[in-house]
Each structure stands twice: as C-alpha cells, then as structure tokens.
Structure 1
Amino acid sequence: MFKHMLLLLKHRRTLCSLVVVLLCGTLLMDGQLLLLTRSPNSRLFQNSSHKYSWSTVSVTCSPRTNIAFLKNHKCASTAIQNILFRYGYKHNLKFALPEKRNFFGTGLENFRAEMVLSSTLNKLQPNIFAIHTKWNHTEVKKVMPANTVFFTIVREPIALFEAFFAFSRAKKRTGLTLEQYIREVPVDEKRTGLFHYNTMAWDFGMPEEKLNNLTDIWDMVMQADEQFGLVMVVERMEESLVLMADYLCWELSDVLVLDLNSLRSKFKKPLQQELKNILQKKLAPDYLIYRHFLKKFDQQVEAYGRGRMAAAVSRLREMMALLMDLCSFVRKNASQLAGKYRPTSNKVEGFKTKGDMCSLYTLPELSFLSLLRQKQRKDIIISKTNTKPTSKVPPKTTAWPSKSSELTSRGYNNSPESNQLTHLLSPSLGY
C-alpha cells in the first residue's frame, strides 16, 4: 500500500495533466453542442479544398451570398431553388436570369457565359445562379464573382427516371408506356428532348457521345468532386439541408422549405423487379454519379458529427412544424390552385397559405422568376440613374395577427426558433 501511494505521488503531475485534458475535452464537446442550439455558423467545409474534416475549434464565418447551384432535373431542385430565391430576394441579391422561361439554352446545349452576359436582365453581376441548364463549370465561373461557392443535388437514378418520365409527358410524346420505354428504347438512342436515360450525367454536362462511357463519366465525377463543395442527396433531405446551412454559413431558418413541384402519388407506379434490373444497367452512368456522392455525403455527415446532426435535424423539424403552424400551409393539387400559385404541370402538387407573408414559400418557379425579373429590372434602372430606391411599403395583412401575439398565443414566445421565424416572416417580404 505504501509503495502504491509513493507511485501515485511520483506521477501526480502526469495525472493532474490528464484530468485537465479530459475536462477541457468535455468542455469543447459541450461547447459544440451548445453552438448547435444557437447557430450553424461553425465551419465544416473548407473554402477551396472542399475536404470534409471537422475541427474541435469553433470558427465563425460570414454568410455566403455568391452561390451557384446546378439544378438537376427531378432532384427536388425546385425546392432548393426556392430557398435560394427567397434568401436572395430577402437580402437584395442579384440573380442570373434568362429573359424568358426557366432555363438557359435549350437544354440540349451546354451553358455559355453569353447566355447571361447578353441579357438585359443581367447588367449587374449576379450573386446567385440557380437556373436549369446543361452545366459548364468554366462558363458559369465567367459570370459569377471569384469567391462563388458551388453545390448541387443528386437522386437515386431509378426514382429520378420514373418521376421524369411522368413529368415530361414522355408517354404522350413517344407513344410508349414506361415499361415499353425501358424494354424497347436503347440507351444510346439520340436524345431529342430533355427526357432520356441518365439525366444526371446529362445535367452535369456530359457530351452525348460520351454519355455511356463509364471511364469518361468517372473523369467527370472526379472533376465535379473538386468543383462542388457540397452535393446534397434527395433521399437524405433533412441532413442535406443541415449541411447546406453549414456550407453557406446560413441559419437553419434560412433553409426551411416545402416539398415543391412534387409528383402526385397517383402518377407514381412501382416498377417490377425485372424492369428495375434492366433499367439499372441502362442507368449505369447515373449510378456511378449517385453512389460516389452518396458515399461522400456519408463522410461529410460523419465529419459533421452523428450526434450533432441528429440534434440539428430535430431542431430543423421543430422549426418546420412551427412554420407550418404559423402559415397554415395546405397541400393542393395544381388544378385546385389559381393564378401565380398554380404550378405549370397538373401532375404536381402545390400549397395554399393564408397570408402574403408566407407566400414566397409556395410560389411556383415561373411565378417566382416573374417576381425576380420585375425586381431586377427596377434595380438596373436605379443603378443607371444612381439613385437610392424608395422604401417598400409592406402590404396590408389585416387577417394576419402581429407576430408577437401569434407566437405568444401558441406558446412559442421564448423559443429561439420563434425569434428566427418572426424575422423570417417579416411583412417586408410580401410583394
């Protein structure tokens, strides 16, 4: 016993140091959890290297305002676009906008900088690029500021193919059912419209002659891995939104979103396993893309921290529930909506809300683009005349109670989520 006491005394400094290290480590971990409940403004992604590593040292950052988003077809990209449109509209940012419709080019040609630079809507350098186009990273960089960050989203290829077949009216155009298309149309048949096999590879910018060459696809994937700091995954949407907020150094309240442009359930028919097997082989290029970025996504979630991610997702759900409660969103078929709130396709769903302050969440893409074009034209005129814009008068919302009374009556008065949503639903966002 005496010998053991002497040994403990001899190594008392080492033991004390170990205790201090353990205590400090616990404080750092608690600090991260505390940070999670207050702000997402700690950094997971490095600026240029795009490596997924997490440091125990909290680093503050500034919200990103120069952003380019590759809007892949039928990958919940309209919902992500709505987030970017709302954020840019709120913060008076400029957008890369086509003169008409909702895409740059025909969809059968790669993006060129002149598509933006020659437009009368883009006389001011854009901050946000979030329009459908066949991607060309070099050309997009020509129209965006030097410190632009890039991200995109991918989806399980068979689910994407099924959704796009229904949405694009391929049955009417080709005279073939989905099952007939899969069996009869060869993968290398020339593309005459936006719908065909391997939509993701196409949207990422692959030339048609290389679209089914897996070696070329892999080279493209490696380039995209370097170019895009974040690739979200549709099947992991809540985690994707958390990583999006972290990547852009935004608040979680900035990435709240409805399930916009979603295909109605009556148009979703599960495929037989035999057809899935055939289709999986034909979609090999898209699966190469999807599986690589799904694996990278897992690594980024791991780097963010599984426990930390679970807490962030829980907080995101709480804020989304509060938003749904405050705005009284009701899901409707497109045919049940009218005017600017009606989606272009009757095969998708939209939302109805009770007040203008929530309307930006429900605006279909084309309606939001009309709003942005109108605003951008005014900004260009103001820039030319070098005068300051007049203050915008908030619309009357007599049916909408004050935010403080609304939140208090529903028991949300002291929550940090309600404070953020009070700011988010400011009357100045109405139009």
Structure 2
Amino acid sequence: MSLPTNWMKNRACRQITIVLVSTVSVIHMITFLPLSKQLERNDHLKGKITHIGFLKVHKCGSATMSNIIFRFGIKNNLTFAIPKKGAYITNTDSLLPVRPTGHYDILIGHSIYSRKLYQYSFGTDSVNIAIVRDPVQRMISAAYYYRDVWAQAYLLRVPESNFIENLVRLPHVYDRAPFSFTRNAMGRDFGFSSSISINDTDKINQHLDMLKKDFKLVLVQERFDESLVLMKRTLNWDIEEILYIKMNANKHKVITLSSDLIKKLQETCFLDFKVYETFSKIFDEKVKAEGPDFVREVEWFQNVLQSVWEFCHTEQVGNIVKIDKSEWNEPFHITQENCSYMKMEAITYLPMLRDRHQKMNN
C-alpha cells in the first residue's frame, strides 16, 4: 500500500484543498430512506453493480474491504445479508430474513464459500469478490493477532521464544488441525474440504476451477490500491466509494522465514499457496489488460488517499477536503463524518445494520 516515489510530483499537478465550511455529510448513514430518496439513489446507481457477495477471508485486509462495501451499501440504500447474531454466516437459516417482496444486495459477513449460500442470497446476477494475501505474511500476521488479541489456546501453547519458527517447524505439535487460523485458513474460507490432502491434485484443481468461475474478481492484499481501482472499474463505482482507512492492523515484529521454513509452510499450508498462486496470477493478467491508463489512475487514487488520510487525522469539525475533477472522477468532498465511517469497525456497524434491517423489512 506504499505510495509511488513520484507521488509528490503528481500531487503538485492537481489541486486538492481543505476548507472550513458549514456542511452536512453527503452520506446519510444507517437510515431507511423515504421513497423519493430511494428513487434518487436508483438513478444515481445506473450502471453500477450492486449485488455483491464479498468473501471475507481472515487476515487478508478483509476488515478494510468490508468497511468500503458497507459504506457503499448504506450510501445507496441497499439491503445486506447479515447474520442474526454474531459475525458469522453459517448457512441460509443464519441470515436475517427479508420481507417477502424483498431481496439481498450485499453480503459482507464472515462465511465459508458455498454456491448454495451465495446463490440463495443473490441469485445469478451477483458479482462475487474475495481477497487473498501472501501465505507467509498472512500466517505470521494471523499467528500474532490470534495469540495476542484473541488469546487462542493452541497459539498460547507455542513457546514465545522463536514463536513463528516453532509454529511452522512443528505443526504436528502445535497446529495439528487441517484448518486453523494459521493453517490453510484461506483454503477453508474458499470452501475447500478439510479432508483434502496435498496429494489430491485433481480435487484441488476441480475446486479451483469452480472458484475461478464463481469469482469475477479476487483482490491481492499486497497490491491493495491496484486491487481497489480494478474493483472500481469492474463494478463501475466512483473513486470516492473506494476510499479507505486501514482497519484491524495488529503490529508485531518483522519476521523473515528461512527457505527451509518456507518450504515446510508450503507443505503444511498447501491450499493457501495454491489459492494465492492461482488468483495472484489472474490478478496480474487483469491488470495488464487494463493498459497504461490503469497505472495513472492508481497514482491519482493514491494521491487522493493521502490527502484524505491527512484530513481524517486532523479531526477538525467543520472542515472538508475537496477533491477536484480528474479524468477518473467528478469533483467531490469528504467531511469528518465521512472519516468517522471510514474508521468504523464491524463490531460497531453490524448492530446498526441489524437495527436498520429490521426497520426496512417489517
């Protein structure tokens, strides 16, 4: 997510200003809009893809992605497929129901991918999106996060000295389950069976072939800004709808694995490596197909992001940041209220969405 070295030069070429005004946020959040406003939203949505199944893959930047999609859905008065309680969608019965004439638009809760769940929620006109991450970095991040934040028992049993090395080198001692937060977690979230072994090449490839058909776009966490611009183009969204502030990041010391440990991890987390290699290759092909204009749009997006990040950290009530028109966006502005929603985590917005859902479907 680092900015390009020529960012300052690009920024100097485009005017982005912060001004003090009396303002009302352009986003009316967590409300059920009256019919007149719904019609305005529908007109605004012409051409935009609004039926979205987002597979929230653990420790792959999914919290940030969910926030982006949450804000898009609220802004445009869409209906979320959300669990009745908790954060996990286990099956169709776990979803809050819609009224008989209603339908779901967006799924952003944690779930294990299945065609039955996603087709039940959206029918055949939805676009499925997911995100993957380098398996080595994902495992390291998950190990520290689920040990330090969630106190997972199996991770607490691993000696703190050489924590990651012990976990990788001795999975038969510390990480024996076929799926865990640190073992084939991406494979689990993408719906692979826990009975698949590293030698079941045909079964692995068959499942990957299904996923390639079912997911129109799989983002790559290490190339997050490129991923968002590609998603914007795929869904025909606007730049202001993919702005973000990084969420749920757990700081830990930098760990570099030896080649032997990486080889060992490839054997243990074989599904994660297959998923990542498959979709990162497809992602490369999609980016190349966009042409040189794509690179310039990513640079402009990063330019806008930096201005928004700086503004959102000022927390000065009444200020707005104005983003001028470019070849990729119409002019728009961001308020401190917008910033507050970019910072909102699922633990806060899920209860709000449930309350909103009940009002919309009574």
TM bracket (short chain): 0.7 to 0.9
1:81 aligns with 2:66: yes
The alpha carbon displacement at 1:158 in A equals 0.8
Separation in structure 2 between the aligned mates of residue 121 and residue 181 of structure 1, nearest angstrom: 44
Provide Cα deviations, 1:13-58, integer angstroms capped at 9, x if missing partner.
Answer: xxxxxxxxxxxxxxxxxxxxxxxx9xxxxxxxxxxxxxxxxxxxxx
Separation in structure 1 between the aligned mates of residue 118 and residue 336 of structure 2, nearest angstrom: 37
Partner secondary structure for residue 340 of structure 2: helix
Spell out the pairing of 1:408-419 with structure 2 (5 A cutoff): none
Separation in structure 2 between the aligned mates of residue 272 and residue 263 of structure 1, nearest angstrom: 23
Amino acid aligned to 1:166: Y
Alignment counterpart, residue 363 of structure 1, candidates 332, 344, 347: 344
The alpha carbon displacement at 1:147 in A equals 1.3
What TM-score do you get using the length of structure 2 for normalisation?
0.74
Alignment counterpart, residue 292 of structure 1, candidates 261, 278, 284: 278
1:179 aligns with 2:179: no
Alignment counterpart, residue 263 of structure 2, candidates 277, 282, 295: 277
The alpha carbon displacement at 1:140 in A equals 1.5
The alpha carbon displacement at 1:287 in A equals 1.3
The residue that corresponds to 1:223 in the other structure is: 210
Alignment counterpart, residue 238 of structure 1, candidates 200, 215, 225: 225
Separation in structure 1 between the aligned mates of residue 270 and residue 141 of structure 2, nearest angstrom: 18
The residue that corresponds to 2:92 in the other structure is: 113
Amino acid aligned to 2:278: H
CA RMSD of aligned residues (A): 2.6
Distance 1:89 1:297, change over 3 A: same
Separation in structure 2 between the aligned mates of residue 206 and residue 282 of structure 1, nearest angstrom: 15
Separation in structure 2 between the aligned mates of residue 194 and residue 371 of structure 1, nearest angstrom: 30
Alignment counterpart, residue 356 of structure 2, candidates 367, 375, 378: 375
Separation in structure 2 between the aligned mates of residue 357 and residue 247 of structure 1, nearest angstrom: 24
Spell out the pairing of 1:31-430 with structure 2 (5 A cutoff): 62-105=47-90, 112-116=91-95, 119-120=96-97, 124-169=102-147, 173-174=153-154, 175-176=157-158, 177-186=163-172, 189-191=176-178, 194-210=180-196, 212=198, 213-264=200-251, 266-305=252-291, 307-328=292-313, 355-381=336-362
Is the contact between residue 66 and residue 108 of structure 2 (CA under 8 Å) also seen in structure 1? yes
What TM-score do you get using the length of structure 1 for normalisation?
0.62
Separation in structure 2 between the aligned mates of residue 320 and residue 122 of structure 1, nearest angstrom: 38
Partner secondary structure for residue 248 of structure 2: coil
Amino acid aligned to 1:290: Y
Structure 1, unpaired ranges of 5+: 1-36, 38-60, 106-111, 331-352, 382-431
Percent of aligned positions with the same letter in both sequences? 27
Amino acid aligned to 1:157: P
Partner secondary structure for residue 200 of structure 1: helix
Separation in structure 2 between the aligned mates of residue 180 and residue 153 of structure 1, nearest angstrom: 28
Separation in structure 2 between the aligned mates of residue 268 and residue 126 of structure 1, nearest angstrom: 41
Partner secondary structure for residue 126 of structure 1: coil
The alpha carbon displacement at 1:121 in A equals 6.9
Separation in structure 2 between the aligned mates of residue 357 and residue 76 of structure 1, nearest angstrom: 20
The alpha carbon displacement at 1:156 in A equals 0.6
The alpha carbon displacement at 1:181 in A equals 2.1
The alpha carbon displacement at 1:263 in A equals 1.7
Separation in structure 2 between the aligned mates of residue 299 and residue 180 of structure 1, nearest angstrom: 37
User: Relative contact order (alpha carbons < 8 A, sep ≥ 6): 1 or 2 greater?
Assistant: 2
Is the contact between residue 97 and residue 373 of structure 1 (CA under 8 Å) also seen in structure 2? yes
Is the contact between residue 101 and residue 366 of structure 1 (CA under 8 Å) also seen in structure 2? no
Provide Cα deviations, 1:187-215, integer angstroms capped at 9, x if missing partner.
Answer: 99335x74241111111011111153333
Provide Cα deviations, 1:262-295, integer angstroms capped at 9, x if missing partner.
Answer: 121x354333443223212322221111111111
Separation in structure 2 between the aligned mates of residue 248 and residue 186 of structure 1, nearest angstrom: 43
The alpha carbon displacement at 1:259 in A equals 1.2
User: Going by fraction, where is strand more abundant, 1 or 2?
Assistant: 2
Distance 1:190 1:99, change over 3 A: same
User: Going by fraction, where is helix more abundant, 1 or 2?
Assistant: 1
Distance 1:74 1:141, change over 3 A: same
